[in-house]
A = this chain, B = another copy of it.
Amino acid sequence: MYTFAEENYIKAIFKIAEREQNSVGTNAIAKVMSTSAASVSDMLRKLSDKGLIHYEKYKGVTLTHDGSRLATQLIRKHRLWEVFLVDKLKFRWDQVHDIAEELEHINSDELIRRLDVFLGSPKFDPHGDPIPNAQGKFTLRNQVTLTDLQLEQQGVLVGVKEHTTPFLEYLNELKIGLGTHMKIIKINAFDESITIIINQSQKHNISKKTAANLQVKVVK
């Protein structure tokens, strides 16, 4: 139906639109796709012709209903495959993104329906990201980033914003994973780094940048 390239652009547009609120610009897409603005312009015309985006020259783009559905289905497939790789094939959470990036393009509704059943219809992937259901609806969850917590407050890690291998390997070294309990015991005014206690035992000092990529559920 759609080429890999088209699908990857649609996913990129969806993800940019998720954080920025307004319409998505050519340069922003070029950056995410690691390509030139000229190539993006070419592709936007094509995606518009196929009815996946609303596009007016120089005005940026938004996804159409069809584009939005395609994006959520790709995200659903990507995250279900990640669950498969970690739960069934015993990959670590830092190894699965690139493989899922290929698997997400396999074209079979029946395959995804059965994979979902096989995995027990998981609601979150190995990085804590919600898996949209077959209708594209995401499960919402109360969460804040670790930087939002006050001194002495506690939280349980439920997600990570950054998915790159170096970041996840760093968390592995620190023995931080989904479900890890964290308590803020010091906030350094100088560089905004924070000191935390992991699972009531290990003490670590982490940068603001790291903390900003950790999503936690507050516990009392």
List residues of chain A with CB under 8 Å of any chain B CB.
85, 88-91, 95, 98-99, 102-103, 106-108, 110-111, 114-115, 118
Closest residue of chain B to A4, judged by CB?
A: B4
> Cβ of B114 and Cβ of A89 under 8 Å apart?
yes
> CA separation between A102 and B108, bound complex, in Å?
10
Contact of A99 among B89, B102, B106 (CB under 8 A): B106
> CA separation between A91 and B111, bound complex, in Å?
9
Collect the chain B residues with CB atoms within 8 Å of residue A90's CB.
114
* 16 further interface pairs, Cβ-Cβ under 8 Å (given A88-B118, A95-B110, A102-B106): A85-B111, A89-B111, A89-B114, A89-B115, A89-B118, A90-B114, A91-B110, A91-B114, A98-B108, A99-B106, A99-B108, A99-B111, A102-B107, A102-B108, A103-B103, A106-B106
> CA separation between A85 and B106, bound complex, in Å?
13
Copies in the assembly, this chain: 2
Collect the chain B residues with CB atoms within 8 Å of residue A118's CB.
88-89
How far apart are A82's CB and chain B's nearest CB, in angstroms?
12
3 closest A-B pairs by beta carbon, nearest first, are: A89-B114, A102-B106, A99-B108
How far apart are A88's CB and chain B's nearest CB, in angstroms?
6
> Cβ of B103 and Cβ of A106 under 8 Å apart?
yes
Closest residue of chain B to A103, judged by CB?
A: B106
Most chain B CB atoms below 10 A, which of A88, A90, A111: A111
Pairs A–B under 8 Å by Cβ, sample size 20? A85-B111, A88-B118, A89-B111, A89-B114, A89-B115, A89-B118, A90-B114, A91-B110, A91-B114, A95-B110, A98-B108, A99-B106, A99-B108, A99-B111, A102-B106, A102-B107, A102-B108, A103-B103, A103-B106, A106-B106
Collect the chain B residues with CB atoms within 8 Å of residue A95's CB.
110
How far apart are A110's CB and chain B's nearest CB, in angstroms?
7
Closest residue of chain B to A115, judged by CB?
A: B89
Collect the chain B residues with CB atoms within 8 Å of residue A106's CB.
99, 102-103, 106
